[in-house]
């Protein structure tokens, strides 16, 4: 997984379920807001070569207010 902003970090690693779906949790590392592009790479286990982007997620981070 690659991210364009240091504000997002994986809170947990990839979890692969029996049905082939994968899951990962992202957590905001700071209180800053911003935008990030997260790209997950994948390849079929029986195919040679480099992994290709499986999906790209565009994320907007909006911090919660601490007062008021």
Could you read off the pLDDT of 55-66 as tens digits, one per residue?
Answer: 777 777 676 666
* Domain spans, the chain: 2-61
Could you read off the pLDDT of 28-37 as tens digits, one per residue?
Answer: 666 566 677 7
Q: How many helices and strands in the chain, by DSSP H and E? A: 0, 5
CB atoms within 10 A of CB 7: 20
What does pTM read for this prediction?
0.42
């Amino acid at each position: 997984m690659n991210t364009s902003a240091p504000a997002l970090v994986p809170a947990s690693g990839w979890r692969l379920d029996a049905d082939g779906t994968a899951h990962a949790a992202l957590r905001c590392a700071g209180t800053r807001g911003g935008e990030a592009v997260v790209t997950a790479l994948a390849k079929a286990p029986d195919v040679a070569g480099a992994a290709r982007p499986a999906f790209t997620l565009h994320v907007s981070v909006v911090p919660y207010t601490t007062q008021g």
